[in-house]
Structure 1
Amino acid sequence: MSMLKIRRKASGGVKPSSKLRGDIQGLRALAVTAVIFDHLLHWPSGGFVGVDIFFVISGFLITGILAKEFTRTGHISFTGFYTRRIRRIIPVSLLVLAATVLTAKLLYTASNFESVLWDSIASFFFVGNWRYAATGTDYFAAGGSPSPLQHFWSLAVEEQFYFVWPWLMLGILLLVTKLWKVSAPRAVRISGLAMAVAIIASFAWALEQSSSAPTVAYFSSLTRTWELGVGALLALFAGAFVGIPAAARTLLAWLGTAGMLASIFFVTSGPGFPAPGGVFPVAATAAVIAAGIGAEAKHNYLLTNPVSRYLGDVSYSLYLWHFPVIIFLGVFYPEGGIAYTFIALGLTLALSVASYHLVEKPFNKAPILVKHDSKTEGRRAWQKWRTAHASVFQNGGLLALTVTTAVVVAIVLVRPTSSPSAEEAAAYNERLASTGAGTSAPAAPVADTPRSKILGGLSAALATAAWPKLSPSVDNVMAEGMPMEATLGCGAADVFDPMSCGFGNPSNPEVVVFGDSLGTTLMPTVREALESDYYVRGLTLAACAVIDLEVEFESEAVRDNCLNVRAEAVRYIQERRPEAVLVIENYAWANSKKLTSRAAGEAMQEEWRAAAQSFISKVSGSTKRVVFVAPPPEGKQLADCASKVSTPSSCVSDIPGTWQQVREVESKLDGATYLDTLHWFCVSGKCPSFSGTTPIKRDFIHPTQQYAQQVAVDFREMYDQIP
């Protein structure tokens, strides 16, 4: 995205500027810094709006270039336009894509590498945004590491916009100048009216999609067009801003800057993005750009200082490099930390500066795809280019190599030691022997009980320094670890169809499993333990908060379906009167991003308690036992934390605070029993990723079918002890 020179006549006593737009470079610096800190530190809360800032800048600059060309020549050269885009975009992106694929090959397991390879292909052809939208990737999700190329989605949105907008713009311009005989400047303004219509349509669609399909809305070029369009509209009506008085110009710039900072620090993720949540940062960015049209806004030092301008220069390289660095470095620093943060920043800056001076800047001026009158002229052009950049390649290359090598060495030397020594493992086992089982058990279990065997497997996994040969393997755990019940109706059970998620002899006493997707993964355990004596029926629906919680759903359709299943399940229980109702759902619903009230802490606990008691009151008269089963604590996803350079300790997780808060509530409910399963997953507050050679979970929370069956004997013992 090249900078735009403004050379307009002064108006209202304002001195025209012939300088490059330093404030726009400062905008880029602010945007990329916000995005990097958001991805690296998850702070500030609205750092992701840096992408929205980039969209407005891009729409303004590129449309301005096209409008100026048409005003000057009466035409737009698409050959020239797309040649400039290729020289500007492709060299560095190709370098980052190649480096990312190579690094993934060196670090990742086969399945993760294959995923990155497909991501790189989608990114190269500028369709990555649709790939992530189609696969249901949640930009804000915390359950598992994202693709190191996920950030390429915004580049795809921009290029898709530029596959359409220049052609549409030229068509309108030619139509009004040839048929209506209007001047080129007026034709440019008329094309602005068409863009205004596109902005309104895109924004309206973004409002609808942000509510009904937020994941698609976030990545879709159709819901992002309005942001690029706002910048384009500024360029098409730039003349309206030339005569702004100097004082008003400065005030507008500062108000816009303050608005962007407010967006970065106070906007939060969730439903409502990109519309209406993107309005504030987009409007603030537009204000800053408008303030600099025709003349420079004074005293906007936050954006125009030399550091900001240089970071703006290298912002494209910074944006492309930062995310692969953050993701790959996390393999060596799974717990993050200060060293991880500074090394990530240093390596990102080193790679970006190197690629800017050695690739981006030189190739932006290279005579690539340029038609020459003769071979001699072509050779002269290349010779001139090589001569102009000889010193950059020589000195800059050496400097970049030195800095990058130093940072990589620092990674190796400073990286935390993840493998426990033999002495540490022995000491740890002694602590386990003295303190007993997981936090749910007050004393050491009796030898050779099902519980002691489970805890022994977890303790051994925590003390293991090398990966065993897992079955299913890390590459296959997602597919092979899925419970077969998921294919037999349990993913979305038809409540009143006995063939849907029903197992065993229907004439036996009935046990109902009522839950979300964790209800589905509990089915192998319950079936293994009880099916010989009971008819096991699953009333399960993925992504449904089954007790009477008021939560934010992905869409209205998901909400309606969940509420319908809730009501039908209660009616089923009241009619069938099963011997027991086992209730299980993801405690992650307890966080403030899911509850409609956004309650947290004690307020969240009270809301959860009220919802659980409400459910109990509806079914307690229709069953002998209401049993709340503790779900697995959310942890690390094996496919993400296990790599060619990691150790088992890299995949050990802690028990989340929200899990413990909800556990405290459900263990004290009136009219229900609490079945504490924490010892299936954690010991002494630490949760490994496998036991023996069996992976415990297939992702960050759902147990594998194999492990679910292994704990069935312990489940039967606990069930038989329920009053």
Structure 2
Amino acid sequence: MDSGTTTAAPGTRTRSVRRPEIEGLRGLAALLVVVYHVWVGRVSGGVDVFFLLSGFFVLGMTARTAIRGERVDVTGTWTRLFWRLVPTAGLVLVTSAVAAAVLLPPSTWSRNLRELLASVFFVENWRLATDAVDYYADHGTASIAQHFWSLSIQAQFTLLAPLLVLAVAWWARSRALDVRSALLTAFAATFVVSFVHSVVATASDQAFAYFDLRTRLWEFALGGVLALVLDGVRIGARARAVLGWAGVIGLVSCGAVLDVGAGFPGYLALWPVLSAAAVIVAGRAGAGERLLRTPAAQYLGRISYPLYLWHWPVLVLALGLSASPTPGAVGGLVVVAVSVGLAVATHHLVEPPLRTVSLPRAAGRAGLAIASFLVPALVALGVWAAVAAGDSGTPVAVGDPAHPGATALATGDVVAEPAVTDPTDPIDPEPAGEVVPAVQPSTARVQDDWAQYRDGCGPVGESPALEECVPVRVDGEPQRRIVLLGDSHMQQLLPALEPVARERGWEVRTLVRARCPFGTTSETDPGDAMCLDRNAAAIEHLAADPPDAVLVSATRDVRAGLTEQTPDGFVAGWQELDDRGIPVVAVRDNPRFDHRPSECFEAYGRGAAQCDIPRAELLAPDPPYALRDDVPAGVSFLDLSDEICTPTACPPEIGNVLVYLDDNHLSASYARTMSPAVGARLPGLLGW
């Protein structure tokens, strides 16, 4: 998501009488961010304007101080940043935390808590960057604090900027060099190095690069270059007018012309950055600049920082309460009106008193700012986290009569009796004298209910992508040795296998890597050589010390429309293992959905027909591998569909246990309840 702070970092002491067009530029950038977030759902380029302006002011102020031979006040610069930005940000975060805890469904709590905490410490950009490339991260609805990623980048830049100026100025003076030239060279070099890195990183891993400070530094650096060379720019009035208009039009049209979401930052970010630079260079230059100097544009610029901070949580809350992916035309107007109202109130009631506070020492002001930000936010998050943790319940154990999970399918008692199918129904669903067990895991915790396997892990040979773990060990010589080989859909079976293995003295190892199902061709990315190398290395590793059985995926892409398939690469992989005398059990995959079943359960309640997907739409009576005539003789098949779905539907809850943790992975709690079925069928398949 495109987002960013509209308030320049410390040292931003522009007065409207001097550069009013910059105040208007801030307001225009903020307006574009809000409009594109609320109605368009695309990147506007406004955040790049904010980064350029921050570099223009922060680097410009500290550089001019160093050029004059004065001491660069690093702590003072940091203090001004915190004093100007932190209290308002703290107010928004605390309010957001309380509102999310009260108004948003528990299924959103885990992600919101993580990202609010990251925002408190100005590392939200790294949190999002890590989650963007983490297969196991929660990739559901955007969090209420997601927009703090750009404020985090700005804070990190402002911590680095005065240190860079101080170091370059000291180096230049120690060698009797011109400080201004040295700083200009340093800013230009930072621009070049960061821009090249941004282009390369965006092309190779855009999801991570989007939130990476290193791919954004060139935008700040260009602002610093502008601050040092602007006074020497001499262009005529006509050229300034053209430049100013080009900048305004370029900025407004950026998001509309370019579908830049998947290409940012990279070279595409030059469009909004150079547009903003054109406005700065043009200065007072005709109609384009007169537009930015209007009272409305000036006021919008003054409230741009709180407007940016408020608009995102208001939008997320509105979407959460309406259960709609977009606010619509009227709903969007309400979101904007509420956001503007909160921004105006914050600008007039919160920010002015802070400017009048007089403290004897800068350190005292910084301490007060940090305390006003961290303490309330951490207290609010701590209370919320405690409530969420208390909602987690107890782990589901095999044989738990209150939470039978998959074993309930044998008796037909799929769901507790009866349930609320309409979340607005005030009628108590529990019959008198009976207690309906709470579903486990709770919707607040289910997305974290992963199958854990990080025990006894270590690299295998010289393959960088192959790692072996031993989650189930036995004392002495194991009765059997089993290896789970493939991607996360093999990992999720570990809780179903572990109780049986411990009871019968089996050792269980894993050769698991996300997005790498076992086969001789890549099924997730035709160019993913790492998966192919990993699978080839796994074959050789297993051949060197053959286990008693290897469990792999038999099918993939089980979705509505009967899209399930057994790829040729799967069969070829089985053949490779069979040729080496290794018994193979291929496991039929579970259904995948275009939504999170747990969220449907949360919205409509137990036993709701809206959440039951017809089994016939997902699973054909004959699995695709049964229709092939090239399956090796040493391969047997384990179909657990009857432990995941009823004869007619695939519901989100079975036997008081949520089946899925996201849109395609079984929860560890539910997988554990499948253990009796696995224990009863696996030995027979292998002739044990």
Q: TM-score under structure 2 normalisation?
A: 0.67
1:199-598 correspondence to structure 2 within 5 Å: 199-203=191-195, 217-239=209-231, 241-243=233-235, 245-246=239-240, 249=243, 252-253=246-247, 256-257=250-251, 260-261=254-255, 264-268=258-262, 277-295=265-283, 314-334=303-323, 336-337=324-325, 340-341=327-328, 345-361=332-348, 363-366=350-353, 368=355, 371=358, 452-453=409-410, 456-457=413-414, 468-474=437-443, 481-483=449-451, 486-489=453-456, 513-526=484-497, 538-546=509-517, 547-550=519-522, 560=530, 562-571=531-540, 581-584=550-553
User: Which has the larger helix fraction?
Assistant: 1
Q: CA deviation at 1:149?
A: 1.7
Flag the 1:704–1:241 CA change in 2: closer, same or farther, 3 A.
Answer: same
CA distance in 1, matches of 2:647, 2:458: 33
Q: Aligned equivalents of 1:337 and 1:500: distance in 2?
A: 40
Shift of residue 525, structure 1, vs aligned partner = 2.9
2:384 matched to which residue of 1?
none
The aligned amino acid for 1:321 is W
> Distance between the aligned counterparts of 1:450 and 1:237, measured in 2?
74
Distance change >3 Å, CA 148–CA 712, structure 1 → 2: same
Residues 154 and 642 of structure 1: CA distance in aligned 2, closer, same or farther (over 3 Å): farther
CA-CA distance at 1:155 after TM superposition: 0.6
- Determine whether 1:618 maps to 2:576: yes
**Structure 1 residues 152 and 300: alpha-carbon distance in aligned structure 2, compared to 1, 3 A threshold:** same
1:583 aligned counterpart, secondary structure: strand
2:152 maps to 1:156? yes
Alpha-carbon RMSD: 5.6
Over 3 Å counting, the alpha-carbon distance change for 1:651 and 1:192 in structure 2 is farther
Deviation readout 1:406-434 (Å, 9 max, x if unpaired): xxxxxxxxxxxxxxxxxxxxxxxxxxxxx
- In the alignment, is the contact (CA less than 8 A) between 2:484 and 2:550 conserved in 1? yes
CA distance in structure 2 between the partners assigned to 1:687 and 1:530 by the alignment? 28
Quote the offset at 1:280 in angstroms.
Answer: 1.6
Counterpart CA distance in 1 for 2:536 and 2:629 is: 21
Match of 2:655 in 1: 692
- AA paired with 1:144? G
Counterpart amino acid of 2:573?
F
Alignment CA distance shift 1:218-1:286 (3 Å): same
- For 2:151, give the aligned amino acid: L
Number of residues paired by the alignment?
A: 602
Instruction: Give 1:96 deviation, angstroms.
Output: 0.9
* 1:588–1:634 CA contact under 8 A, matched in 2: no
Partner of 1:31: 33
Q: Using the alignment, how far apart are the partners of 2:311 and 2:623 within structure 1?
A: 40
- Superposed counterparts of 1:177-192, under 5 Å: 188=180, 190-192=182-184
Can you give the 5+ residue segments of structure 1 that lack an aligned partner in the other structure? 9-16, 374-448, 591-600
Aligned to 2:567: 609
CA, structure 1 residues 127+107, in 2 after alignment: closer, same or farther (shift >3 Å)?
A: same
Matched residue, 2:185: 193
Change (3 A) 1:631 1:460: farther
Counterparts of 1:498 and 1:235 in 2: how far apart (Å)? 55
Q: 1:138-197 deviations in whole A, cap 9, x for unaligned? A: 699763345422321211210221123135436656886999596xxxx55542221122
- CA–CA separation in structure 2 for the residues paired with 1:144 and 1:96: 22
State the distance in 2 between where 1:464 and 1:102 align: 28
- The unaligned stretches of length 5 or more in structure 2 are 1-6, 361-405, 423-428, 430-435
Q: Which residue of 2 aligns with 1:393?
A: none
Match of 1:102 in 2: 98
Give the Cα separation in 2 of the matches to 1:650 and 1:455. Answer: 17
Residue 293 of structure 1 aligns with an amino acid whose one-letter code is V
1:25/1:312 contact within 8 Å kept? yes
Match of 1:13 in 2: none
Equivalent residues of 1:583, 1:626 under 8 A apart: yes
Deviations 1:528-560 (A, max 9, x none): 67998996754431314122344778xx9x974
1:12-55 Cα shifts (integer Å, max 9, x gaps) = xxxxx8755534532332234334557xxxx33xx285433432
Shift of residue 503, structure 1, vs aligned partner: 7.6
TM-score (norm 1): 0.64
Q: Residue type matched to 1:583 in 2?
A: V
Counterpart CA distance in 2 for 1:493 and 1:632 is 32
Q: Percent identity?
A: 22
User: Does the residue aligned with 1:150 lie in a helix, a strand or coil?
Assistant: coil
